[in-house]
Chains A and B, each alone.
Chain A
Amino acid sequence: MFRHTPLRYIALALLAAGALFQAATAGYFGLEILIEILILAMLVLALDMVAGFGGMVSLCHGALMGVGAYAFATFGGILGLTPLVSLVGAIALTGATAWVIGAVCARSHGIYFIMATLAFGQMAYSYVFQTPFFGGDDGMGGIERLDLTALGIDLTDSRSFALFCLGVLGLVYLATVAVLRSGLGRSLTGVMHSEQRMRALGLTVWRVKADVFGLSGMIAGLAGALSAMHIMYISPGLLDWTVSGEALVVVILGGLGTLVGPMIGAVALVVLKHELSAITPYWHLVVGLLLIGVVMSRANGIFGWIEAQIGARLDKRLNDITRPQPTEEPRDA
């Protein structure tokens, strides 16, 4: 069950403040990195929703993001729909695709679930790669961004687009929390703890898994559409399993089942990638060592480690402050 703690609020505030500061002050290159982080954060929120709260470790979320990107590009570039309609269509199509994948894979668990989702993801990748309609390995270009000029926002400007992505990420976070706190989200947590018991209580387990996987797919599709708008070009590489693998690394690195942790993981991965790749082409080795360190430490990622170190102390201190102090009884003379 997802719970906000004082430490999580603090982490969220720091992340938001850091992103706003970067959006306000960074140059073009800094804004590109920020947008990359924000889109990755959306994808890992989607993945954490199913993996951290439903035990569904998916290796097809990269492909779902790709479905969203290709759907957005197809609806706008080939069918001639407006970017807004294309965006809504892309989210809906990706959600429906994810629901079907979730429904099929819901009966498998553990490594079998991972392999089944990997198979779906690679099927999508192969199909797009070999289909001329989608541009094959050349990909698709000429993708337009949303037109918000009526609201006085020019999304062709990188700073405006970064702020737009930040706003969307905020809404995605709130929607994710709302889903996890709903009856559906609570049932999902119950399923992760004991499918057998939830069935015995009368719950149709596969349906709950499929529904949440579909919602998660909608977020991945939104991230894909934003990614397509960002680069204005997409290629089949977006659907490759390595994108899903990287998202999973980010979730584990940040802290599975915490929502905040994966967003911290997204910041850590993108910053490390850009900083280290300027120094060495072997930056993957550093990320790999970091991941091994996190896993071997038995902490739940970077944020899980922080929660274990200071979260409990912070909660206790706040409880001590907020708890009413006993008043001294007047003594009889």
Chain B
Amino acid sequence: MLETRNLDKSFGAVHVTRDVSFRLEKGERRVILGPNGAGKTTLFNLLAGELIPDSGAIMLAGEDVTSLPVASRARRGLSRSYQKNTLFDGLSVEENLGLAASIHTGFGTRLWGDSLSRPEVREIVEDVAAQVNLQPYLHARVSEVSYGVRRQLEVGVALATRPRVLLMDEPTSGVGPEMAGAFHALLAGLPRDLTILIIEHDMDLAFEVADSITVLNYGEVVFDGAPETARGSDLLKEIYLGSWEHA
């Protein structure tokens, strides 16, 4: 469903992504691990189209999308959530979901009629609100709900575009252990045919939800395999404890 081929990206003399290649099958859930500065968010920005790689290719469902802009990739089914909330604070939770759903259904550019009252949009809003447990907050303004609810909405907005591939950048960033537990259940409840790539620091979440794990360090893939293998990996421990050195 999603494949990267020898992705490379530098900012001046800083080489942030080095020859990154991996492949996600349909419905696969892969977690990207790595210490701060490993190049995880840069990789997401390359996949989403917010950055263009210096070399390499990105394939989405067999199509080369490397040179396509962000919106075109999104329309092809690649959606993302952000590490820092990028919600529309002045709008209600329902309007946030509705905005995403109306873009997906094509009503977001129509001149006449309220897009949020369209049955197609309403159906997506209600469906996604149920998926990410937002029904009690639908009419609340985003600025009035808790941080944890905003993180759920961040994922919900990405889901409201009905993606084929969902990129989640640290979905549990800044939430407490209880909320992180709720996110485990939330991820487990998402449709199994949805392909998910997650950047995560929470090891428990990573090992619980991942079908496969990719570890990045200094922009390169240093581990790619099953969670069970990663769990016992000395390399992973070394990277997180800081004794691993880049060659």
A residues with a Cβ closer than 8 A to B are: 1, 178-179, 181-184, 186-187, 189-190, 193-194, 196-205, 207-208, 211, 215
Contacts and interface: CB of A to CB of B under 8 A. Distances in A.
15 contacts: A179-B111, A181-B114, A182-B113, A183-B109, A184-B108, A184-B109, A184-B111, A186-B102, A186-B115, A189-B91, A200-B70, A201-B71, A202-B75, A203-B71, A207-B109
Contact of B86 (A182, A189, A197, A205): A197
B112 interface: yes
A117 B95 CA distance: 31
B108 A1 contact: no
Given A183-B113, A184-B108, A200-B80, A193 B90 contact: yes
Closest 6 CB pairs of A and B: A183-B115, A202-B74, A197-B86, A183-B110, A199-B70, A183-B107
A16 B241 CA distance: 71
B100 A201 contact: yes
B197 to A, nearest CB: 14
A133 to B, nearest CB: 34
A194 B84 CA distance: 13
Interface string B91-122: 10001001110111001111111111000000
Majority secondary structure of chain A interface residues (helix, strand, loop or mixed):
helix
A53 to B, nearest CB: 11
Contacts of A184: 108-111
A308 B86 CA distance: 27
Contacts of B99: 186-187, 190, 201
A215 B98 CA distance: 24
B157 to A, nearest CB: 7
B54 interface: no
B108 A203 contact: yes
Nearest to B92: A1
B40 to A, nearest CB: 17
B90 A182 contact: no
Interface of B: 48, 50, 69-71, 74-75, 79-80, 82, 86-91, 95, 98-100, 102-104, 107-116, 157-158, 161
Nearest to B81: A200
B90 A198 contact: no
Nearest to B74: A202
A176 B30 CA distance: 47
Contacts of A208: 109
A205 B72 CA distance: 11
B202 to A, nearest CB: 23
A175 to B, nearest CB: 10
A193 B88 contact: yes
Given A1-B95, A193-B89, A201-B157, A186 B116 contact: yes
A1 B90 contact: yes
B110 A182 contact: yes
Contacts of B107: 183
A187 B103 contact: yes
Contacts of A203: 71, 103, 108-109
Contacts of B103: 187, 198, 201-203
Given A1-B90, A186-B99, A186-B115, A201 B109 contact: no
